[in-house]
Structure 1
Amino acid sequence: MLHTPTGGAHAGTATGQKSGPMSIGAVLEALRAEFPEVTVSKIRFLEAEGLVEPARSPSGYRKFRAEDVERLSYVLRMQRDHYLPLKVIREHLEAFGDDAPYPNVPVVPPREPDEASAPAVRTGRKELLGLVGAEEEELAEWEEYGLLGAAEDGTYRLADVTVAQLVAELGRHGVEARHLRTVKAAADRQLDLVEQLVAPLRHHPDQRTRTRAAGTADELTNLSVRLYGAFVESAVRAARTRGD
């Protein structure tokens, strides 16, 4: 089961339901109480991705409502605590509807005391197999090819569950684990590139610049995922054109 901090999806947001329209600067100030790494560019990126749709003044300025800030808080929390991709978060939001409250998804604290400052979602091996509908032999093969792996305590992250589900679905179409090694290697190389680009920000003498590093890394990662999808879609369309 997935878990999130006590207080639910609305905890930690410094807004009230009766507050008036807010500028993007005011939204940033409200969010930083819980998300100190958030930036204006991150908020604009989430808006461009369709995760939030603030109203606009006649002159074009954004006018955020308290509900928009709560929505942004939910998105940021799902990224931070559960490592969910934006596509999945968007699907959740669409399923909730505009008036439905966001679900309370508590976070299980890590077992190691030195990791207490970094809440993470974990699941056991048996639970992962049940969620994915796979056999032990299949999971062992996926791990053998480096597609995912358990932590030292034998548990898996939510991201590993997502990987296992996708690998299992592909397997039902005849795609074997060995075929996916190059995909995993490409993802690892892209992550290395993101870290190289963000490294100067993480070691910058200015504290505000260091704080923006995490948000920049998130944006680069999401753009990389979108680019990969665009490459695949472009290749598919090109192949269909050649076949016509």
Structure 2
Amino acid sequence: MPLLGQAAMLLSFDVVAEAIREHDDWHTHEHLRERLSIPGFVRGTRWVALAGSPRYCVVYEVEQLSTLTSAAYLERLNNPSPWTTQIMPHYRGMSRGFCTVAGSFGVGLGNASLWVRFTPSPGSEPSLRARLLEEVLPQLPSKPGLGSAHLFEAAATPGMTKEQSIRGADAPVAWVVLVIGYSQDALAELAQQALGAAQMEQWGATGVSSALYRLDYSLSAHDVAA
């Protein structure tokens, strides 16, 4: 599997403008390192919007879904560091989901990505999943400008923790298609055509939204251990 785990936590959010610089410093030098030191966390990657919103998306790849409900992870969420406690109130519009990796194609980590967020209409889940996993996503990694394509499906609802209580309740995540590559133009074209809202809606998706992101920082558990 190209991704480094069987499940993932997906986050998307904004940060108030005056706190962006400190947020990025904290997220890079404390928060990612803290999260990647938790057993079962494999890699964390932060993306920043090129076109669309919200400003940030973060992916934590984990060994399995149960990692995200483990005692070690909950202990950190309910005992935030002083710096974390200072940063949390600056978050806005946090969406956070515990997801399974329904499909993953291609290899590598490019410098740009397309995020397509949507909810399957009632009863369309099997056909929409089949369409994406059997016809659409497997073809993308070989196309110019692209490198990998992944489908995430919400599998569990995160519970309230001390961190969440500081920043406010998180919105849920349904399904997300993440396409990673090296050409912003190729990803933008994909957002308008093969994975555009009109096409996705024909297949049974609702509430389709998409945005382009650039790679901002990535850290693995191996890096932290070393």
Aligning the two structures, in what range does the TM-score lie when normalised by the shorter sequence?
Answer: under 0.3
TM-score (norm 1): 0.25
Which structure's relative contact order is higher, taking Cα pairs within 8 Å and 6+ residues apart?
Answer: 2
Q: Using structure 2 for the length normalisation, give the TM-score.
A: 0.26
| More helix per residue | 1
